[in-house]
Amino acid sequence: MKRIGNQTLELSGDCFIIGRAALVGEKEKLGTYGKYFKDVVEDDKMGEKTFEKGERKMLTIVNNNAIKNSGLKAKDIDLYIGGDLMNQIVSSNYVAEEMQVPFVGVYAACSTITESIGVAACLLDGGGFENILCSTISHFSSAERQYRYPLEFGNQRQCYSQWTVTGGGAFVVSSKKSDIVIKKVCFGKVQDYGVIDIANMGAAMAPAACDTLVAFFKDTKTKPDDYDFIATGDLGKLGGDILRDLMEQQGYNLNQNYTDCGHSIYSFEEESYQGGSGAGCSASVLATYIIDKMKEGTFKRVLLLATGALMSTITNQQGDSIPSVSHLIELNKV
Contact residues for a second copy, defined by CB under 8 A: 1-3, 7, 9-10, 49-50, 52-53, 78-79, 83, 86-90, 93-94, 96-97, 100-109, 115, 119, 122-123, 125-129, 146, 186-192, 310-315, 318, 320, 323, 325
Q: Are 153 and 100 in contact (CB under 8 A)?
A: no
CB of 181 to a second copy, least distance (A): 16
CB of 116 to a second copy, least distance (A): 10
- 332 forms beta bridges with 181, 301
Q: How far apart are CA 35 and CA 47, in angstroms?
A: 25
Q: Are 290 and 229 in contact (CB under 8 A)?
A: yes
Question: What's 95's DSSP letter?
Answer: H
Beta carbon nearer to a second copy, 53 or 293 = 53
Q: How far apart are CA 38 and CA 265, in angstroms?
A: 15
Beta carbon nearer to a second copy, 61 or 310 = 310
Q: Say if strands 131-138 and 79-84 run parallel, antiparallel, or are unpaired.
A: parallel
Residues 6+ apart with CB under 8 A from 27: 140, 163, 166, 266, 270, 272
Beta carbon nearer to a second copy, 83 or 280 = 83
Question: What's 40's DSSP letter?
Answer: B
What are the angstrom distances between the C-alpha of 107 and each of 113, 134, 234, 273?
Answer: 10, 13, 16, 26
Q: How far apart are CA 325 and CA 267, in angstroms?
A: 27
Beta carbon nearer to a second copy, 90 or 199 = 90
Beta carbon nearer to a second copy, 100 or 253 = 100
Beta carbon nearer to a second copy, 22 or 186 = 186
CB of 334 to a second copy, least distance (A): 21
CB of 323 to a second copy, least distance (A): 5
CB of 90 to a second copy, least distance (A): 4
CB of 101 to a second copy, least distance (A): 7
Neighbour-count burial of 174, counting CB atoms closer than 10 A to its CB (0-12 exposed, 13-18 middle, 19+ buried):
buried
Q: Are 67 and 61 in contact (CB under 8 A)?
A: no
CB of 205 to a second copy, least distance (A): 13
Beta carbon nearer to a second copy, 188 or 236 = 188
Q: How far apart are CA 276 and CA 257, in angstroms?
A: 19
